[in-house]
Amino acid sequence: MNIGINGDSAIALAWKQIDPDVCAAYPITPQTIIVERFSDFVADGEVDTEFVTTESEHSAMTVCIGSASAGARTVTATASAGMAYMWEMLGIASGMRVPITMAVANRTLSAPLNIHCDHSDVMSTRDTGWVLLFAENVQEAYDNTIMAMRIGEHKDVRLPVMHNLDGFILTHAIERMTTLDTHDVKDFVGKYTIDHSLLDIKNPITHGVMDLQDYFFEHKYQLVEAMENAKGVIEEVFEDFAALSGRKYEMLESYRCDDAEYVTVVIGSTAGTMKEAVDQLREEGHKVGCIKVRVFRPFPIEKFKELLTGRKMVAVMDRHISLGSTGPMFNEVCSSVIDVDDSPDVVNYVYGLGGRDVPVSDLKEVYMNMIEGKCKKVNFLGVRL
């Protein structure tokens, strides 16, 4: 069915169709509509979920970990400062191998206080052991919500999954979207089972142990393997989802890249604007394309290598800056092509911080700068200097 819906409500709708066992959350702009719409479903008996309205994000993530350890399919949502507040618990969720799924309405981190979109919240979590998925539009935000569960809960993965959508740009904008049948969604996510439930009183398990120097490293290495396994599982889930929905996703989506000499790498809603810039420049005869990153963790390093080798120049678009360094994705993209013979020049564009508008004209300028050789190594797009 085709409907008009904003990104937050689309996620709440997916949750309604999934009907998870437990949802624990705390409100924060621009995530609030997710928990508000889901509260409506709870109040009207449209879901059977135990809805825990915690007193903070730290407790929200903690309740999720306790709940998922006890064998309940568990969801939550947050943004920005809320993500920062639960940060301690993010590594504990992955370390305890609980496949929580969390929607994140990407919003910048203070100060100065600002409620609008950039990726400083999610990028600050990139080392915490969560699978990170991104959406370009409302449809993808909805689809990612459903696919996230299958990825995280897979026995070879067992990791928490964050599915991101750009604050306000996607959370609050109404777009046309195709829904799946509730029966199909339930079928797709399947039943949630875990091997060692905290509530298995006949087989008592000690969860969240203390490791000393003799075991910690090995247990961390298991996470390295789980992330590696996630790559294959993600591809499988994308295949299955394509069979169900007709929408085929890739870890990296390549747009008009076949003969492209100048390529950008972009995450989130800006990918849509970037495609328009590519179309306009192609009309003008320029060989340009873009790569949209759907999966940032595990980082698809081999796919980057495959897609970027042989290009003249690559501009990596970061909606976050690791202060004192560069945009975080820039470094990782560079590392993916460092050992190829025909390595492209790679430059960095930091853009859109604090929700700064990103018009097509600015993105065309990125390509023109590459073509005309005007790029610095690290560039700041649209900032008044």
Binding site for other proteins (CB under 8 A): 21-22, 24, 48-50, 52-56, 58-59, 62-72, 74, 88-89, 92, 96, 198-201, 204-212, 215
For the CB of residue 58, give the shortest distance to other proteins in the complex, in Å. Answer: 6
Q: Rounded to the nearest whole angstrom, what is the least distance from the CB of residue 212 to other proteins in the complex?
A: 7
**Minimum CB distance to other proteins smaller for 21 or for 250:** 21
Q: Distance between alpha carbon 218 and the CA centroid of its chain, in Å?
A: 27
- Smallest separation, CB 57 to other proteins (Å): 11
> Which C-beta is closer to other proteins: that of 200 or that of 276?
200
Residue listed under structure tokens 């689309």:
10
Nearer to other proteins, 17 or 62 (CB): 62
Q: At closest approach, how far in Å is the CB of 15 from other proteins?
A: 14
Task: List beta partners, residue 379.
Answer: 349
Q: How far is the CB of 219 from other proteins (least distance, A)?
A: 8
Angle between helices 138-153 and 7-18 (to 10 degrees): 40
Task: List the beta bridge partners of residue 51.
Answer: 23
- Provide the edge-to-edge strand list for the sheet that holds 262-267: 252-255, 288-293, 262-267, 313-318, 345-351, 378-381
Q: Which is nearer to other proteins, 50 or 250 (CB)?
A: 50
- Cβ at position 263, least distance to other proteins in Å: 43
CA 105, CA 99: separation in Å to the nearest integer? Answer: 19
- How many alpha carbons lie under 13 Å from residue 283 in its C-beta half-sphere? 7
**Shortest Å distance, C-beta 89 to other proteins:** 6
Q: Report the half-sphere exposure of 63 (CA within 13 A, side-chain side).
A: 22
> Given the complex with other proteins, which of 53 and 254 has the nearer CB atom?
53
Query: Of 69, 373, 302, whose CA–CA distance to 196 is shortest?
Result: 69
Integer-rounded Cα Rg, in Å, for the chain is 21
Element (H, E) at 170: none
Q: Which is nearer to other proteins, 1 or 209 (CB)?
A: 209
- The nearest distance, CB 187 to other proteins, in angstroms, is 17
> Quick one: CA torsion of 104, 105, 108, 110, rounded to 10 degrees?
-80
Cβ pair 325, 350 in contact under 8 A: no
Q: Which is nearer to other proteins, 189 or 337 (CB)?
A: 189
Annotate 71-94 with DSSP letters as a single string.
T--EEEEE-HHHHHHTHHHHHHHH
Q: Which is nearer to other proteins, 197 or 254 (CB)?
A: 197
Closest CB 45 distance from other proteins, rounded Å: 12
Distance in angstroms (rounded) separating the CA atoms of residues 318 and 261: 20
Judged by beta carbon, residue 49 or residue 125, the one nearer other proteins is 49
- Helices 87-95 & 216-245, crossing angle to 10 degrees? 90
Straight-line distance from the first to the last Cα atom of the chain, in angstroms, rounded to the nearest whole number: 48
Measured from the CB atom, the residue of 22 and 83 that comes closer to other proteins is 22
* Residues 332 and 320: beta-carbon distance below 8 Å: no
Please work out, in degrees rounded to the nearest 5, the angle formed at the alpha carbon of residue 78 by the alpha carbons of 72 and 84. 110
Instruction: In angstroms, give the least distance from the CB of 68 to other proteins.
Output: 8
